[in-house]
Amino acid sequence: MERSKEEFLRRFGEDYGYPNAPKNIDEIRASEFKRLQGLVYLDHAGAALYSEAQMEAVVKDLTSNVYGNPHSLNDSSMATSDIISAARQQVLNYFNASPKNYVCIFTSGATAALKLVGEGFPWSRESWYMYTMENHNSVLGIREYALDRGATALAVDIEDVKLHGRQEGTNESSVRILKHSVQRRAEAKFPQDGMIGKLSDNAYNLFAFPSECNFSGQKFCLDLVKVIKDDAQKIFEGSQGGQWMVLVDAAKGSATDPPDLARYPADFVVFSFYKIFGYPTGLGALVVRTEAARILTKTYFSGGTVSASIADIDFIKRREHIEQVLEDGTLSFLAIASIRHGFNVIDALTTSAISRHTTSLAAYVRNMMMDLKHENGVNVCTIYGRDIAKVLSLDLGATITFNLRRADGSWYGYHEVEKLACLSGIQLRTGCFCNPGACAKYLGLSHSDLLSNYEAGHVCWDDKDVLHGKPTGAVRISFGYMSTFEDAEKFLSFLEISFVAKHKSSNGKCQLSTEAVPLSGIGWQQLAGNVQLKSIMVYPVKSCAGFSMYSWPLSNMGLKYDREWLLKGPSDEILTQKKVPEMCNIRTFVDLEQGKLFLESPRCKEKLQVSLAKNSFWEMEEMNAYGQRYEVMTYDDEVNMWFTEAIARPCTFVRCSSSKKRSCMNKVGREGQCRDSESKLTFVNEAQILLISEDSVHDLNSRLNSTDMQKDYSGSGQPVLVDAMRFRPNLIISGAKPYVEDSWRSLQIGEAHFTSLGGCNRCQMINLDQQSGQVRKLKEPLATLASYRRVQGKILFGVLLRYEDCIMEDGEEKNGKERWLQVGQEVYPSID
């Protein structure tokens, strides 16, 4: 890394690291962001991070001063009013906006500021709302107000902006605009093509664009403000009238390049403070030109917005000051009091230095990503944005959005990338980032593609990342003022280790590869010795501790009573150890002779006993879980209160009575059958039974104990070893070669027959320490499994089984005697 950093500094040393600030970047990270040790945070476009000094100043301020409600005249209220006034001025200063021309309106965020403009704008049937395709959903949402009031909406692409002769004092300008389809509601008259801009002189029109695209990092030329305001008639093909106003969404761009409103006099600018310096959240502002503010109208009035009102007659008198009219209720004054401490951090560095610092990191990473290739020469990274080849261009911000290809040209899904990044301690963002226009534009998704994806079940924030051979979203990394070269290097190393196809190492050590690893890896003739059933585990309550038995009966749902109960939260969400780690401390045992389920918890004084008998007077209801419809039995308040105390949160205890058709979403998102579609299931995720090989666990531990693997994944020299119980198996076998179970088609244990349904896709559940209930910080063993057990985005370990003695035939269950499994029974696999 030292040589790489030397080369980086030779190229970017004047821009990187704040050489002229009170603290350089290494000192900032060491003193202000100790919590980032071992973590690479690359989602600054989503939220900036606050510094320790900033928060210490906030706490000192709030604990040393008394700030009262500003809608009063006492001393504490007046102190608050002074703080708010000073904060407004600080905001205007940040955007170089004169208080003679601009006003700062505090809102709950950039989205609320945009909503305020949309609601108050004087739309008419002659109005137009134009916006660039590369815009956040919150900007697109203004369209609803415009269309509802009869205005016309139109999305455009800005191809080029040029100002000719500005320095000579002329007003010539040109802009290339690519227009998309005109939008009007059914009740409004649809204009003829070429009639754009034939407007009434009294119409107000709004043009909206971001200072920086939150999808691609593309910076928009702010000269567009003057071009739209001065030359709308020329740009929009013969406009005869109407006044064009310009809205700039600075939510992304304000952290590094806040618009200079003295130079680019936009009418409306919106942003959120947490995007700039992390804290406070839930606070933003609308910086509005005074003349533009006067055209905004409000219907609703609230406390603080009126000078007088009478309760029983239609009489109100609104206040005169713009801020007082547009800010409803009591402002978040403690949050407003905190922003000066954030600005102090930014001012010490300067926004120009922050911009150069973050841009240098992004330029370096873009260059390295563009050079990344598989061994066969196929490019690994597809980076989105205009003029990507010009990586040093000022038009590109500190954001890089991309997708990754395999050596065969197929796409890695962004969900797989995010999952592996988390395991490597890298925090990044995936999806479309609430920017559907930019997402469709750069990914080449047509209207039919988008509609087809939606019909296939794809919605925002889901994990359906590749449909019909195309990505549905992308991966985004973004740098902030405290990002370091080391962050960049760790990210690049992660890409190379996890996604670049290489030849396997001949030295016997584990070599990461993106090639589909043959999971069996061993011929069946090598199956040596007797394979035996070593352990039987039953988990009566989903995600709670299980118990081991020497022998146990089977039923038509797998192991009898296995995951027949679960806990639901107040909103009917299914509770698991992922959300409630304390569930692993609830110990369970089923006594077949007594016919009872016994439960105990360190948080409960008394043990709980639940009868196994399915009494007819219990209340029945239906619920959906894991793509299946269940009929469940509920329990009384006494039982529910016991579990509520055990996990320290409200919950409901339910039991599976019967399950109906097993349906789920298949790979393309349409309703299909899960792998176990023939059997009745309890509250399992995919199949009745999970089998784990003790020999495969031993092989995993040898890899976990590898120095190279520890260096690559854990960040520690201490080995992270696991036992088979970490994977919550039902059956543990021993005596087989590692991973030979992957290719078994079926198997017999005693008199019981099972069909293999394939590998079990593992998640971060296996990183949970079952004894302490705490997630291991080393990201193991999932990170190591990802290095050699990853196939098409899934990390496989263990195999899923279906018990075949009680399946459905012609709508009826096969009758057969109750069969038992017993430790020590031999396992007879079949590979046919």
Instruction: Tell me the catalytic residues.
Output: 434
End-to-end CA distance of the chain: 51
596: nearest Cα among 639, 647, 550, 532 = 639
C-alpha to C-alpha distance for 480 and 26, rounded to whole angstroms: 14
Q: How many residues would you count in the chain? A: 832
Q: Is 383 exposed, middle or buried (0-12, 13-18, 19+ CB in 10 A)?
A: buried
Q: Give the distance between the most distant pair of CA atoms in the chain.
A: 98
Cis, bond preceding 781 (omega within 30 deg of 0): yes
Say if strands 689-693 and 731-734 run parallel, antiparallel, or are unpaired: parallel
- In 3-state terms, what secondary structure has residue 693? strand
**96 touches 88 (CB < 8 A):** no
Distances (CA, A) of 518 to 739, 743, 796: 10, 10, 12
Cis, bond preceding 829 (omega within 30 deg of 0): no
743: nearest Cα among 468, 508, 512, 521 = 521
543: nearest Cα among 588, 580, 576, 591 = 576
Q: Is 831 exposed, middle or buried (0-12, 13-18, 19+ CB in 10 A)?
A: middle
Structure-block tokens of residue 413: 């899904």
**348 touches 331 (CB < 8 A):** no
Q: Please enumerate, as own/partner, the contacts of 640-644 that have beta carbons within 8 Å and a separation of 24 or more.
A: 642/599, 642/604, 642/606, 642/608, 643/567, 643/586
Q: Which amino acid is at 179?
A: K
| Chain center to CA of 71 | 39
The strands making up 587-591's β-sheet, listed across from edge to edge, are 587-591, 596-600, 608-611
H-run or E-run covering 276: helix 274-277
Neighbour count for residue 317 (Cβ, 10 Å): 11
Radius of gyration of the chain, Cα coordinates, nearest whole angstrom: 31
**464 touches 405 (CB < 8 A):** no
CA torsion sign, 778 to 782 to 786 to 788? positive
**Secondary structure (DSSP) of 732-784:** EEESS-TTGGGG--EEEETTEEEEEEEEEEP-GGGGB-TTT--B-TT-TTHHH
**249 touches 206 (CB < 8 A):** no
Structure-block tokens of residue 223: 């000269």
C-alpha to C-alpha distance for 203 and 195, rounded to whole angstroms: 15
